[in-house]
């Protein structure tokens, strides 16, 4: 920003009575909703009414088919706990996809971080070093992804696919293809700790969502993410450092992998190269049914989280009803197709 | 073609265009970038449906609903972006869509025979039909593209700037083939920016400007070059340009010996606070490249740029923006706007830091300030929450200007600020540019329209073939003089070629 600007307009004072509407899509003339409603709409709940409806529908199915086991507090916490790890990965992937990229490596970067953090050598330094190690591995992998993509000009799909494969290899090399048992009591205790009856993993998930939401919707970083995903050339000519920002997006995704690595190491009390297999596809699928454009520039974090919850509830319903796991995957595939079809219809009808 | 109209959201790309092409002639289509040439030939080729107007083919009215229909009628198009498949062989590309086949099995040897015959006819028997197309040079691919047009037995071939990638020898070859084709009664629509080529090969000329036909069926060889260029760049409607405002202040922008290999060289000029400097030149003269290099969007090979005496690092847009530069780029939609985002976010994009405390965006101030600048510029509709896509071209341009107005830049670089902008918004943009200069902003203006440069600028730099060939006060120039300077070289080449031909 220039100091000697002769033409900056006067900074207007903040007005709380400025007219507000329910997001950019709302037609003019609708009654003005409250600020809270507006914030939620902006954050994506409004755009994702369809997914909320699906969740409600699934809940009804659960209440009907498993009236004793589904509508219980403990089952709800089970669902949230099992959603938490893939959910944290999905937060990172949402950033990357809105920024116009893709990250295929999250599952195996998480596995690598879990292995590296649970070697005998690392564990000997205690829990803090283990946590630091997992985060550093995740950030390091994200940094490599980002630099290869932004400065090496490798297509994101290829760069992160290569990272997936080599992270898998490195994790196997370090662990000798064995599961490494978590002996550190602090790490082991993370998954079993409950505060006010709610597992710590669920709190962690909530914190990652909250931080992710604020960063995406309330910071310059988030705004620029939408800008470079929507039109990278326009962002560049408006003075955004697109390459540096791209690197940071993959670092965010890597950081989420590091957090998820601690969570999975604690939940399973192991670090293993087999953790996180195909998690990247579940995460991407959740982002897509959450309404984020795979081409970038549009999307919501809330939608991605709803997508994760839809998948997790489906799994939960199948388990509670003793149904075959294979059928469950068919159901997930069908949901992806239906969700994207509905969104495409909704978008074309709203733009014409 | 009569009264062809084609509108895209926010733009009227074609606004009543006429084109007559006779069998056996080379009909040249002239016009600046954005005049509607490409849209017109896409309508002709069936790729776009016109909103109004009629196409008569062989005396009967036709409506080509698809490229396939135009193809079946005997119209082949050689597009500017080559529409070939790099992974297939030369022969496979030549017969693409019309593969010789029996019972669904392709007959590669027949295809090779066809390709070999056509390539020989085009004077390139040395191109092996089995070679993978992607391995050929750009010129070689152009030849294959032509062979493909010939393979259709087309009766009308549209060539969109085929000579851009060819060297002089190959252009001569192309012209020889074109003469053979026209002698056989094939009609050719030829698009080129090079006037000397049009003199040599063309029979008649149609000139487009702002989506309208400004001249039809001029004789290609005898129409004076100055008339043709005036038709392309001149203006039918006279605009009132606001008067210049007082003397200029201290030097703000210094460009010294700037150059990029193959684009422009040794460009030096200064701009003072409150001064508007216009860059005049033909398309391809390097004017946009100079502007983008000053801005850091292209990395300079030689020379440097200084703002308020401080040197800018080469090739860094963020540094330029921090130093107070702002660019309204030539291609508004592709280079400046986030079309799906609300106007307000488009406006605030370059000024996010102002609305952020520790990286966090406050919300209300951003909307309010964006509302203030868009209201100042009278952006319509006056709702900063509307997606930028829904605005007209003129209002979209105002949104880009509002971005830099909000940012508060001291040097404003404008590349074709009024292209695709309707009459009313034009005057508003002129007034705004003058007002900003009056408030002490240094403005550099690139425009294809000579009257616009002369009317708006205090000083004019004329760019030809990547060099500044003239610099002086706008008051000392008139349209004729600028046109002479702009095309001195082109004129000479045209004379030279005409002399060699006779």
- The string of DSSP letters for B25-42 reads -EEEEE--TTSSHHHHHH
* Interface-testing mutation among A5, A7, A298, with chain B (most B C-beta atoms within 10 A): A7
Residue A73 within any structural domain of the chain = no
Nearest CB to B365 within list A11, A214, A218 = A11
Domains of chain B: 2-233 (3.40.50.300), 251-324+409-502 (3.40.50.300), 332-408 (no CATH)
With 80 as the cut, is the pLDDT of residue B363 above it? no
Residue A46 within any structural domain of the chain = no
pLDDT value of position A9 = 41
Q: What is the pLDDT of residues B244-277, one digit of tens each?
A: 766 778 889 999 999 998 888 899 999 998 899 9
pLDDT value of position A28 = 43
pLDDT value of position B82 = 65
Chain B: residue whose CA lies nearest to A218: B361
**H-only helix segments in A32-155:** 35-43, 49-65, 73-98, 106-117, 120-123, 127-150
pLDDT value of position B383 = 84
The stretch B217-226 carries a mean pLDDT of 76
The lowest-confidence range among A108-112, A320-324, A341-345 is: A341-345
CB A50 within 8 Å of CB A306: no
Q: Do A236 and B317 touch (CB under 8 A)?
A: yes
Nearest CB to A1 within list B334, B354, B385 = B354
The lowest-confidence range among A120-124, A196-200, A345-349, B400-404 is: A345-349
CB A157 within 8 Å of CB A175: no
Please state, as a whole number, how many other Cβ atoms lie within 10 Å of the Cβ of residue B496. 11
Main-chain phi, psi angles of B335, to 5 degrees: -110, -10
Q: Within an 8 Å CB–CB cutoff, is residue A213 touching chain B?
A: no
Q: Do A9 and B372 touch (CB under 8 A)?
A: yes
| E strand or H helix that includes residue B343 | helix B343-348
Residue A324 within any structural domain of the chain = yes
Longest dimension (CA), chain B: 80
Name the pairing type of β-strands B187-191 and B156-160: parallel
d(CA A208, CA A197): 20
| Structure tokens belonging to residue B68 | 């396939």
- The string of DSSP letters for A257-313 reads HHHHHHHHHHHHSEE-TTTTTTHHHHHHHHHHHTT--TTSS---HHHHHHHHHHHHH
Which residues form the domain of A216?
80-342
The stretch B481-499 carries a mean pLDDT of 56
Q: What is the pLDDT of residues A24-73, one digit of tens each?
A: 444 444 445 555 555 555 545 556 777 888 888 889 989 998 888 888 88
The stretch A157-161 carries a mean pLDDT of 95
pLDDT value of position B413 = 93
d(CA A335, CA B127): 52
Q: Within an 8 Å CB–CB cutoff, is residue A28 touching chain B?
A: yes
Of residues B380 and B190, the one with the higher pLDDT is B190
- Chain B nearest-CA distance from A128, in A, is 28
The count of structural domains within chain A is 1
Residue A177 within any structural domain of the chain = yes
Q: What is the mean pLDDT of chain B?
A: 81
* Rama region for B256: left / alpha / beta (φ>0; ψ in -120 to 50; rest): beta
The dihedral over CA atoms of A132, A135, A138, A139, expressed in degrees to the nearest 10, equals -100
Main-chain phi, psi angles of A310, to 5 degrees: -60, -50
Short-list A18, A82, A22, CA closest to A47: A22
| Structure tokens belonging to residue B8 | 């895209």
Exposure b/e, A300-330, CB count within 10 A at least 16 = b? bbbbbbbbbbbbbbbbbbbbbeeeeeeebee
CA distances from A142 to A95, B336, B483 (A): 12, 29, 55
pLDDT value of position B388 = 86
pLDDT value of position B9 = 55
Exposure b/e, B299-323, CB count within 10 A at least 16 = b? ebeebebbbbeeebebebbbbbbeb
d(CA A248, CA A245): 5
pLDDT value of position A36 = 56
d(CA A305, CA B65): 44
Residue A47 within any structural domain of the chain = no
Q: What is the pLDDT of residues A282-300, one digit of tens each?
A: 999 999 988 888 888 888 9
* Interface-testing mutation among B338, B356, B404, with chain A (most A C-beta atoms within 10 A): B338
- The string of DSSP letters for B100-143 reads -EETTEE-HHHHHHHHHHHHHHTT-TTS-TTSBGGGS-HHHHHH
d(CA A208, CA A203): 9
In a 3-state reduction of DSSP, which class is residue B277? Answer: strand
Which CATH number covers residue A168?
Answer: 1.10.3470
**H-only helix segments in A151-219:** 156-175, 185-192, 200-218
Short-list B454, B336, B320, CA closest to B396: B336
In a 3-state reduction of DSSP, which class is residue B190? Answer: strand
- Strand boundaries in B333-393, DSSP class E: 356-357, 360-361
What length does chain B have?
Answer: 502
Q: Do A237 and B327 touch (CB under 8 A)?
A: yes
pLDDT value of position A22 = 38
With 90 as the cut, is the pLDDT of residue A201 above it? yes
Name the pairing type of β-strands A198-199 and A194-195: antiparallel
With 90 as the cut, is the pLDDT of residue B186 above it? no
* Interface-testing mutation among A16, A235, A238, A351, with chain B (most B C-beta atoms within 10 A): A238
Q: How much of chain B exceeds pLDDT 90, in percent?
A: 10
Short-list A138, A79, A90, CA closest to A265: A138
Res. A313 pLDDT band, cuts 50 70 90? very high
CA distances from B134 to B91, B100, B443 (A): 13, 22, 44
Q: Within an 8 Å CB–CB cutoff, is residue A29 touching chain B?
A: no
CB B295 within 8 Å of CB A238: no
d(CA B445, CA B276): 7
Longest dimension (CA), chain A: 71
- Strand boundaries in B375-466, DSSP class E: 411-415, 442-447, 459-464
Residues of B with Cβ-Cβ distance to A223 under 8 angstroms: 345, 349, 352, 361
Q: What is the pLDDT of residues B308-355, one digit of tens each?
A: 989 999 889 999 998 999 999 988 888 888 888 888 889 888 888 778
CB B461 within 8 Å of CB B470: yes
Residues of A with Cβ-Cβ distance to B410 under 8 angstroms: 2, 4-6
Instruction: Please enumerate in sequence order all residues whose Cβ is within 8 A of that of B154, keeping only pairs 6 or more positions apart, or say none.
Output: B74, B75, B76, B186
Q: What is the pLDDT of residues B99-136, one digit of tens each?
A: 777 777 777 788 888 888 888 887 788 888 888 888 88
What's the half-sphere exposure (Cβ side, CA atoms, 13 Å) at A293? 12
Residues of B with Cβ-Cβ distance to A15 under 8 angstroms: 364, 368
Main-chain phi, psi angles of B476, to 5 degrees: -85, -5
d(CA B65, CA B49): 7
With 70 as the cut, is the pLDDT of residue A79 above it? yes
With 90 as the cut, is the pLDDT of residue A167 above it? yes
Q: Do A6 and B334 touch (CB under 8 A)?
A: no
With 60 as the cut, is the pLDDT of residue B235 above it? no
Q: What is the pLDDT of residues B433-485, one digit of tens each?
A: 888 888 889 999 998 888 888 888 889 999 888 888 888 888 888 877 888 78
Q: What is the pLDDT of residues A110-153, one digit of tens each?
A: 999 999 999 888 888 888 999 999 999 999 999 999 999 999 99
pLDDT value of position B331 = 83
Res. B86 pLDDT band, cuts 50 70 90? confident
Q: Is the dihedral of CA B95, B101, B104, B105 positive or negative?
A: negative
Q: What is the pLDDT of residues B287-316, one digit of tens each?
A: 889 999 999 999 999 998 999 989 999 889
């Amino acid at each position: 920003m220039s100091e000697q600007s002769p033409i900056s307009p006067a900074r207007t004072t903040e007005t709380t009575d400025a007219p507000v509407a329910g997001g950019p899509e709302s037609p003019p003339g609708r009654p003005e909703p409250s600020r809270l409603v507006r914030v939620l709409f902006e954050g994506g709940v409004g755009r994702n009414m369809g997914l909320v409806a699906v969740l409600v529908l699934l809940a009804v199915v659960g209440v009907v088919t498993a009236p004793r086991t589904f509508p219980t507090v403990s089952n709800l916490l089970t669902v949230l706990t099992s959603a938490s790890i893939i959910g944290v990965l999905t937060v990172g992937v949402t950033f990357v996809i809105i920024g116009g990229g893709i990250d295929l490596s999250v599952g195996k970067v998480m596995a690598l971080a879990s292995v590296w953090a649970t070697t005998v050598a690392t564990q000997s330094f205690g829990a803090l070093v283990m946590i630091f190690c997992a985060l550093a591995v995740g950030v390091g992998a994200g940094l490599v992804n980002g630099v290869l993509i932004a400065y090496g000009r490798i297509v994101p799909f290829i760069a992160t696919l290569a990272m997936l494969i080599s992270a898998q290899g490195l994790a196997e090399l370090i662990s000798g293809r064995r599961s490494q048992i978590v002996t550190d009591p602090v790490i082991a205790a993370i998954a079993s700790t409950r505060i006010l009856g709610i597992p710590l993993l669920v709190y962690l998930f909530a914190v990652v969502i909250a931080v992710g939401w604020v960063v995406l919707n309330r910071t310059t970083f988030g705004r620029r993410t939408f800008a470079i995903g929507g039109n990278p050339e326009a962002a560049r000519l408006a003075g955004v450092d697109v390459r540096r920002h791209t690197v940071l997006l993959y670092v965010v995704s890597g950081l989420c992998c590091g957090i998820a690595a601690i969570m999975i190491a604690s939940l399973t009390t192991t670090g293993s190269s087999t953790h996180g297999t195909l998690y990247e596809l579940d995460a991407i699928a959740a982002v897509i049914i959450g309404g984020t454009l795979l081409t970038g520039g549009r999307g919501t974090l809330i939608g991605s989280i709803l997508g994760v919850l839809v998948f997790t509830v489906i799994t939960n319903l199948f388990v509670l009803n003793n149904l075959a796991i294979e059928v469950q995957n068919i159901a997930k595939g069908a949901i992806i197709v239906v969700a994207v079809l509905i969104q495409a219809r909704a978008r074309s009808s709203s733009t014409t | 073609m009569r009264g062809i109209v084609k509108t895209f959201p926010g733009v009227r790309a074609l606004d009543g265009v006429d084109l007559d092409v006779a069998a056996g002639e080379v009909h040249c289509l002239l016009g600046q970038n954005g005049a509607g040439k490409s849209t017109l030939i896409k309508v002709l080729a069936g790729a776009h449906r016109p909103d109004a107007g009629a196409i008569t083919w062989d005396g009967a009215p036709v409506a080509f609903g698809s490229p396939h229909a135009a193809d079946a009628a005997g119209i082949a198009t050689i597009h500017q972006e080559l529409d070939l498949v790099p992974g297939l062989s030369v022969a496979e590309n030549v017969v693409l869509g019309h593969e010789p086949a029996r019972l669904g099995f392709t007959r590669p040897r027949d295809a090779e025979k066809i390709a070999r015959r056509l390539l020989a006819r085009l004077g390139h028997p040395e191109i092996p039909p089995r070679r993978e197309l992607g391995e050929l040079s750009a010129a070689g691919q152009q030849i294959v593209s032509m062979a493909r047009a010939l393979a259709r037995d087309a009766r009308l071939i549209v060539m969109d700037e085929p000579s851009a990638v060819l060297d002089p020898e190959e252009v001569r070859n192309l012209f020889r083939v074109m003469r053979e084709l026209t002698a056989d009664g094939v009609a050719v629509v030829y698009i080129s920016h090079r006037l000397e080529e049009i003199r040599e090969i063309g029979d008649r000329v149609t000139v487009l400007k702002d989506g309208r036909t400004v001249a039809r069926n001029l004789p290609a060889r005898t129409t004076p070059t100055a008339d043709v260029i005036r038709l392309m760049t001149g203006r039918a409607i006279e605009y009132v340009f606001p008067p210049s405002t007082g003397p200029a202040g201290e030097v703000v922008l210094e460009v010294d010996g700037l150059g990029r290999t193959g684009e422009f060289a040794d460009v030096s000029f200064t701009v003072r606070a409150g001064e508007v400097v216009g860059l005049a030149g033909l398309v391809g003269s390097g004017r946009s490249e100079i502007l983008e290099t000053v801005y850091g969007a292209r990395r300079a090979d030689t020379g440097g740029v200084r703002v308020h005496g401080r040197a800018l690092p080469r090739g860094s847009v963020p540094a330029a923006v921090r130093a107070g530069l702002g660019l309204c780029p030539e291609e508004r939609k592709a280079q400046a706007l986030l079309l799906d985002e609300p106007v307000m976010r488009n406006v605030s994009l370059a000024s996010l830091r102002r609305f952020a405390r520790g990286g966090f965006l406050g919300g209300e101030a951003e909307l309010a300030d964006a509302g203030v600048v868009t209201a100042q510029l009278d952006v319509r509709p006056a709702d900063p929450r509307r997606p930028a896509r829904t605005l007209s071209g003129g209002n979209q341009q105002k949104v880009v200007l509002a971005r830099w107005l909000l940012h508060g830049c001291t040097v404003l670089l404008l590349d074709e600020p009024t292209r695709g902008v309707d009459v009313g918004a034009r005057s508003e943009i002129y007034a705004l540019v003058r007002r900003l200069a009056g408030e002490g902003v240094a403005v550099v203006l690139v425009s294809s329209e000579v009257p616009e440069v002369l009317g708006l600028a205090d000083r004019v730099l004329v760019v030809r073939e990547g060099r500044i060939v003239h610099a002086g006060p706008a008051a000392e120039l008139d349209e004729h003089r600028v046109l002479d300077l702009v095309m001195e070289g082109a004129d000479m080449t045209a004379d030279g070629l005409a002399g060699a031909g006779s």
